[in-house]
């Protein structure tokens, strides 16, 4: 049976490699395209593994991405139909609308040595890939000098330790890496290894697999480790020496090679945790605090002080800017949008919300900001809006199925989830899903939470979706739950030590941090930390605060300047 032809009738612009215009499935000379719809100019045919669909494509453009293809008129690729559609989107549009077959195409590009295609996928979509691809992606980005190389290197530093501990598939690409790669990533000041002990354990995991080479580079490997205290250095040195002696190295040789200078000065971090504004002592705050993980306390950053006192606002990072949306001072809702420029070190007024709203949720996706629901003094809102910082414009989004405030939102597997909230009469447990790549499809219903929650937090930690705390059954709660992808249901997670609602949460330092919030009728200063197994009270804010905004800032300019200007709050 002859496979059925697939025609997609949308005209797309091509680059200047050829004076043609093309429709996926049809190719014409530019002059013919203006007045003709014939199919006489079809040049090549592409089959998938299922042989059910044939795609007619322009050879020159296909070969630009897959240069190893044989020069035949009919070509069969080891790809599913959906992966071929994804490939043709890249060939003609240079973009992706369906991420589902992404990893199939990544694996195919790697196996086929299609470097241009592989680099395009890594450069633009590495954040959508499973974490076990991180080190592999970084090595390719490093070899081909991709712009995302530094960010991938930092992500390796943030994740490789727990991946090794948990035996995650894909760590073998790290364990079999060259010593040059290991030294490069270990000694880079922009990679935050969190502590000298963590880097020691990571390096020794590699050394045990690469014994002979590791012995030759013992001195160089140990010299990459930085320590916060002399006691940490002594502890790590003992572990380092014992491991190499177990590997058959002479004890005196180990001692000689580890008698090297190692820095006692913490690196200027490439990422920090900021807490902005909030409500405490019956008044709003304009203060901005940063968390110093080396001293385990918060300090003020006067140069970043908010333009006004506010609470219930939302702060998000896009590139070298922080954007602050809305807020409430217990008299009126704020509608201003402010932007902090890390290069100029100033807040700038940028826009206003299209309408009055407070208690809304907000997320970023592909450098745009999405605001959901809220309250406007007349009722709970089902309206949603999108802010495009590049154009400084607002756009309406499909309505929520149920108007609500005090929801939580996050990006999970390429889609936005909005959970719980308050509809004016009761607390909700419903979860709705929105795909920003397919806004015309609107909202679909996700698996409901086990418990009703409002004023809670929704986070993704190590690829797992968590719903934390919030307000339920008339009071704040410490309960948490996580989503099990295998059974497709929410399950009970360890509870926090403190009941809290209207709090802030962020992923930082390979843990979930929850900060402040309301507990009973008062605010709390307690900060808790979850490592994937249990919660523990880690430290406290300088004073009790709720309804503040937390943001995990990555790679900002002038970080050293900001921290040098910091002062006790």
Report which of residues 33 and 239 the model is more confident about: 239
The conformational region for residue 521 under phi > 0 = left, psi -120 to 50 = alpha, else beta, is alpha
- 153: domain CATH number? 1.25.40
Please check whether residues 376 and 495 belong to one and the same domain.
yes
Average pLDDT over residues 300-325: 94
Report which of residues 30 and 356 the model is more confident about: 356
Q: In Å, how far are 306, 307, 343 from 559, measured between CA atoms?
A: 18, 20, 10
- Establish if 362 belongs to a structural domain: no
- Establish if 446 belongs to a structural domain: yes
- Establish if 367 belongs to a structural domain: no
- What is the model's pLDDT at position 262? 47
Taking the C-alpha atoms of residue 417 and residue 152, their distance in angstroms, rounded to an integer, is 25
To which residue do tokens 């409002």 refer? 454
- What is the model's pLDDT at position 249? 79
Please check whether residues 104 and 121 belong to one and the same domain.
yes
- Establish if 558 belongs to a structural domain: yes
Residue 152: is its pLDDT beyond 60?
yes
The conformational region for residue 165 under phi > 0 = left, psi -120 to 50 = alpha, else beta, is alpha
Please check whether residues 155 and 241 belong to one and the same domain.
yes
Average pLDDT over residues 162-180: 85
Taking the C-alpha atoms of residue 241 and residue 43, their distance in angstroms, rounded to an integer, is 65
Q: How many residues are listed for the chain in this entry?
A: 569
Taking the C-alpha atoms of residue 152 and residue 4, their distance in angstroms, rounded to an integer, is 42
- Establish if 550 belongs to a structural domain: yes
Lowest mean pLDDT among 149-158, 316-325, 488-497, 500-509: 149-158
- Of 96, 101, 179, 172, residue with least CA distance to 134: 172
Residue 36: is its pLDDT beyond 90?
no
Q: Sorting pLDDT into bands at 50, 70 and 90, what band is 85?
A: confident
Lowest mean pLDDT among 72-81, 170-179, 254-263, 363-372: 254-263
DSSP character at residue 146 = -
Q: 262-297, pLDDT tens digit by residue?
A: 444 455 667 789 999 999 878 889 999 999 887 788
Cβ atoms 325, 353 nearer than 8 A: yes
SS3 440: helix
- 479: domain CATH number? 2.120.10.80
Q: Sorting pLDDT into bands at 50, 70 and 90, what band is 244?
A: confident
Q: What are 433's strand-pairing partners?
A: 417, 444
Average pLDDT over residues 543-568: 78
Residue 95: is its pLDDT beyond 80?
no
Please check whether residues 475 and 507 belong to one and the same domain.
no
Report which of residues 500 and 2 the model is more confident about: 500
How many domains does the chain fold into?
4
Please check whether residues 224 and 165 belong to one and the same domain.
yes
Q: Which residues contact 93 (CB under 8 A, 6 or more apart)?
A: 12
289 lies in which domain range?
270-353+503-528+539-569
Largest Cα separation within the chain, whole Å, is 84
Taking the C-alpha atoms of residue 186 and residue 27, their distance in angstroms, rounded to an integer, is 50
Cβ atoms 495, 450 nearer than 8 A: no
Report which of residues 89 and 501 the model is more confident about: 501
In degrees, to the nearest 5, what angle opens at C-alpha 531 toward C-alphas 525 and 536? 40
- Establish if 85 belongs to a structural domain: yes
Please check whether residues 378 and 497 belong to one and the same domain.
yes
The alpha-helical segments, DSSP class H, found in 144-287 are: 149-166, 172-175, 179-187, 196-209, 211-216, 218-223, 230-246, 251-258
- Establish if 139 belongs to a structural domain: no
Q: 110-130, pLDDT tens digit by residue?
A: 888 888 888 899 888 888 888
What percent of the chain clears pLDDT 90, i.e. is strictly above it? 44
Buried b (16+ CB within 10 A) or exposed e, 393-416: ebeebeebeebbbbbbbbbbebbb
Please check whether residues 422 and 451 belong to one and the same domain.
yes
Lowest mean pLDDT among 184-188, 190-194, 437-441, 563-567: 563-567
Please check whether residues 493 and 407 belong to one and the same domain.
yes
Lowest mean pLDDT among 227-236, 473-482, 524-533: 227-236
- 15: domain CATH number? 3.30.710.10
Taking the C-alpha atoms of residue 507 and residue 492, their distance in angstroms, rounded to an integer, is 20
Q: Which residues contact 361 (CB under 8 A, 6 or more apart)?
A: 314, 371, 372, 373, 407, 408, 409, 418
SS3 102: helix
Average pLDDT over residues 493-506: 97
Taking the C-alpha atoms of residue 298 and residue 511, their distance in angstroms, rounded to an integer, is 17
Q: Which residues contact 72 (CB under 8 A, 6 or more apart)?
A: none
Taking the C-alpha atoms of residue 405 and residue 384, their distance in angstroms, rounded to an integer, is 11
Buried b (16+ CB within 10 A) or exposed e, 352-385: ebeebbbbbbbbbbeebbbbbbbbbeeebbbbbb
Q: 516-551, pLDDT tens digit by residue?
A: 999 977 899 999 999 999 999 999 999 999 999 999
Question: Which value, to the nearest 10 degrees, does the dihedral of the CA atoms of residues 258, 263, 264, 270 take?
Answer: -130
- Establish if 487 belongs to a structural domain: yes
Please check whether residues 443 and 484 belong to one and the same domain.
yes
Q: Which residues contact 522 (CB under 8 A, 6 or more apart)?
A: 544
Please check whether residues 182 and 208 belong to one and the same domain.
yes
Residue 490: is its pLDDT beyond 50?
yes
- Report residue 391 as tokens: 């154009």
**Which residue among 198, 224, 258 closes a domain?**
258
Lowest mean pLDDT among 97-101, 333-337, 517-521, 556-560: 556-560
- In order, the DSSP letters of 180-203 are HHHHHHHH-TTS--SSHHHHHHHH
């Amino acid at each position: 049976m002859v496979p059925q032809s697939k025609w997609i009738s949308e005209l797309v612009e091509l680059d200047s490699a050829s004076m043609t215009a093309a429709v996926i499935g049809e190719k014409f000379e530019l002059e013919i395209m203006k007045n003709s719809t014939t199919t006489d100019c079809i040049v090549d045919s592409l089959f998938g593994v299922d042989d059910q669909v044939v795609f007619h494509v322009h050879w020159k453009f296909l070969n630009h991405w897959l240069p190893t293809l044989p020069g035949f008129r009919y070509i069969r690729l080891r790809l599913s139909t959906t992966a071929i559609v994804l490939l043709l989107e890249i060939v003609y549009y240079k973009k992706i609308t369906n991420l589902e077959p992404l990893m199939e195409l990544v694996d195919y590009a790697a196996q086929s040595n299609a470097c241009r295609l592989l680099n395009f996928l890594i450069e633009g979509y590495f954040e959508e890939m499973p974490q076990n691809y991180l080190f592999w992606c970084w090595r390719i980005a490093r070899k081909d000098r991709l712009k995302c190389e530094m960010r991938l290197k930092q992500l390796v530093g943030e994740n490789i330790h727990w991946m090794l501990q948990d035996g995650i598939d894909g760590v073998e690409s790290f364990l079999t890496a060259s010593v040059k790669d290991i030294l490069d990533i270990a000694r880079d000041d922009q990679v935050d290894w969190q502590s000298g002990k963590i880097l020691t354990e990571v390096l020794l995991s590699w050394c045990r697999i690469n014994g002979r080479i590791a012995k030759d580079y013992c001195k160089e490997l140990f010299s990459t480790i930085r320590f916060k205290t002399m006691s940490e250095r002594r502890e790590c040195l003992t572990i380092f020496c014992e491991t190499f002696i177990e590997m058959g190295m002479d004890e005196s040789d180990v001692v000689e090679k580890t008698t090297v200078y190692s820095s006692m000065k913490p690196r200027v971090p490439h990422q920090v945790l900021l807490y902005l504004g909030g409500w405490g002592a019956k008044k709003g705050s304009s203060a901005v605090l940063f968390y110093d993980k080396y001293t385990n306390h918060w300090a003020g950053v006067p140069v970043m002080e908010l333009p006004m006192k506010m609470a219930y606002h939302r702060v998000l990072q896009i590139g070298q800017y922080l954007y602050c949306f809305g807020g409430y001072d217990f008299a009126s809702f704020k509608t201003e949008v402010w932007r902090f420029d890390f290069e100029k070190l100033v807040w700038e007024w940028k826009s206003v919300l299209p309408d009055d709203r407070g208690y809304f949720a907000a997320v970023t996706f592909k450098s745009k900001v999405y605001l959901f629901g809220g309250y406007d003094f007349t009722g709970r809102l089902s309206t949603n809006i999108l802010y495009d910082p590049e154009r400084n414009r607002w756009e309406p989004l499909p309505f929520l199925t149920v108007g609500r405030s005090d929801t939580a939102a996050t990006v999970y597997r390429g889609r936005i989830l909005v959970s719980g909230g308050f509809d004016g009469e009761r607390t909700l447990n419903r979860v709705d899903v929105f795909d920003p790549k397919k806004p015309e499809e609107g909202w679909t219903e996700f698996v409901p939470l086990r418990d009703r929650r409002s004023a809670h937090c929704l986070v993704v930690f190590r690829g797992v979706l968590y719903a934390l705390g919030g307000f339920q059954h008339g009071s704040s709660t410490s309960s948490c739950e996580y989503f099990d992808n295998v059974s497709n249901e929410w399950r009970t997670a360890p509870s926090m030590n403190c009941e809290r609602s209207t709090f802030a949460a962020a992923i930082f330092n390979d843990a979930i941090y929850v900060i402040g919030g309301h507990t009973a009728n008062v605010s709390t200063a307690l900060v808790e930390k979850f490592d994937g197994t249990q919660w523990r009270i880690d430290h406290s804010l300088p004073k009790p605060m709720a309804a503040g905004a937390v943001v995990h800032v990555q790679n900002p300019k002038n970080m050293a300047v900001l921290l040098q200007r910091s002062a006790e709050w």
